[in-house]
Amino acid sequence: MNSFKESFKSWFGYSRRERRSTFILLNIIVVLIGIRYFYPFHEQVLKELPLDFMELSDDGNLLVQDTLHIRKQKEAVNPLRKRPLLNLNSCDSASLEALPGIGPVLSSRILKYRNLIGGYISVYQLKEVYGLSEETFNLISARVWADSLSVRKIRINEVDYRQMARHPYFQKSEVTAILKYREIKGRITGIVEMIENNLISPATAKKLGPYLEFGE
């Protein structure tokens, strides 16, 4: 027996202190592996602010999120994400119907509303789609995003009554006021000018701001 212990010790060549240090190190490695296994790291989810959180800057421009930065983040390859996010401004009906709770009817309404408003600025605008429930929104909101850089702009100094009136964010009284103001003053220079002259309300300005283009 003693000869076996001596041969065992001589085979590994470790002293008692070295064997103790190695045992402690192995225990630490096992604990770290166990922590990684039982508490896996989660993917950080990008959250999009609703339109109500947007504010007006001093120069009259709407302070929208850095959509270019968000676009790059969302298009980046992420090994933890099993499926890419669906861009609401470029998807088709088949892609929408693959989402939970979205059938042919809702898919058609989402696309029609996209065309009506000129593209989605925020995922939260899906709540404005007729028939899309809060429950369905909660199911799909983490799977979609809106590329606000691709929305169709409204040239406020050139559009006519019919073009403005068909946009759901314009009130008919606001459209009339804008056209009369243009006749008297000429060009509109910014969204603050529209608010100060009661052409549109601040609430309308928050929704319409990203869609308006004033030109030079």
Which of the residues in the chain have pLDDT under 70? Answer: 1-23, 30-31, 34-82, 216
Token readout for 56 is: 């007006």
Which pLDDT value is given to residue 70?
52
What torsion, rounded to 10 degrees, do the Cα atoms 24, 29, 30, 32 define? 130
Which pLDDT value is given to residue 163?
92
Which pLDDT value is given to residue 84?
86
Q: For the chain, which residues make up each domain, given as ranges?
A: 2-38, 68-150, 154-213
Which pLDDT value is given to residue 216?
64
The reported pTM is 0.65
Which pLDDT value is given to residue 82?
62
Which pLDDT value is given to residue 195?
95
Which pLDDT value is given to residue 74?
52
The DSSP line for 6-20 is HHHHHHH---HHHHH
Which alpha helices (DSSP H) does 13-146 contain, by range? Answer: 16-38, 67-75, 93-97, 104-117, 134-140
68-150: CATH superfamily: Photosystem II 12 kDa extrinsic protein (1.10.150.320)
